[in-house]
Amino acid sequence: MGRLDNKVAVITGAASGMGRATAIRFAGEGAAVVIADLNQDGGEAAVRECRENGGRAVFHKADVSDETQVKAAIDRALGEFGRLDITFNNAGLGGALGPLEDITVENWDRTFAILLRSVFLGIKHSIPPMRKIGGGSIISTASIAGILGQAGPLVYSVAKAAVVHLTKCAAAELGKERIRVNCICPGGINTPLLRKAIPGGDAAAAQLLANFQPIPRAGVGDDIAGMALYLASDDAAWVTGTAMVVDGGFVARGNSLQSMFELPASWSGPSFEKD
């Protein structure tokens, strides 16, 4: 038996990185998965991997900043698989970069739309179908940048801090519905989104990230998938309102990455797009 037998999950940003690793893990544990992403090629490849891992999966193209499209992804889960047990609000990007005084209002708003509004929408539209079945698990990707100063680009960090607080507030409101709301705060995870900002590709990124925390290796998508699996499963039935740090000890050591994010004003988009 799998830990997610007969459960249905929607995972945003699941065409690559942490979302893809989680989708494959969930499928192998018995869940049916809707992979919601703008990256169609990556999403369809992730579907194949989920099926190869013994699970059921479909791809749904969605812009997570758009309410209609977020609701459509959840409706896809209901139409394909008949219920919704798990929502993982994972889609993200680097967003606005550069010194505060040089950040445009447009890039501030775009960053918050993708990193924060999307989480609000995922929670909002998960409530009715989860209430109907007596509960569920909502998970969102935050970041250690949301709990530490100077651990990420400024606007990204502020948006992720808001995800942490939204998690707590939503958990307090939805506990009576048996809907659990938690978030994950990853540290340095070697994903396509991060690799695109580091010259030298995967090997260079892994070597660089290995130096950031006490456990001397880069984080990988499966590290986050393991925490997401725990939060999605019945093992976490009494866990809600938490920000689970998965960082190899980065926060414990209290590193600062300020110099890494001293960049000129610019924009860092999704991993599959060239900026």
The amino acid that residue 105 corresponds to is V
Q: Which of 156, 212, 250, 261 is catalytic?
A: 156
Spatial separation of the C-alpha atoms in residues 2 and 147, rounded to whole Å: 33
230 labelled catalytic: no
Among 77, 42, 72, residue whose Cα is nearest residue 57: 77
Spatial separation of the C-alpha atoms in residues 264 and 98, rounded to whole Å: 5
Helical segments of the chain, H only: 17-28, 40-52, 67-81, 105-112, 118-133, 154-174, 192-195, 201-209, 221-232, 250-253
**C-alpha neighbours within 13 Å on the C-beta side of residue 20:** 21
Instruction: Compute how many other C-beta atoms are within 10 angstroms of the C-beta atom of residue 5.
Output: 9
Q: Which are the catalytic amino acids?
A: 156
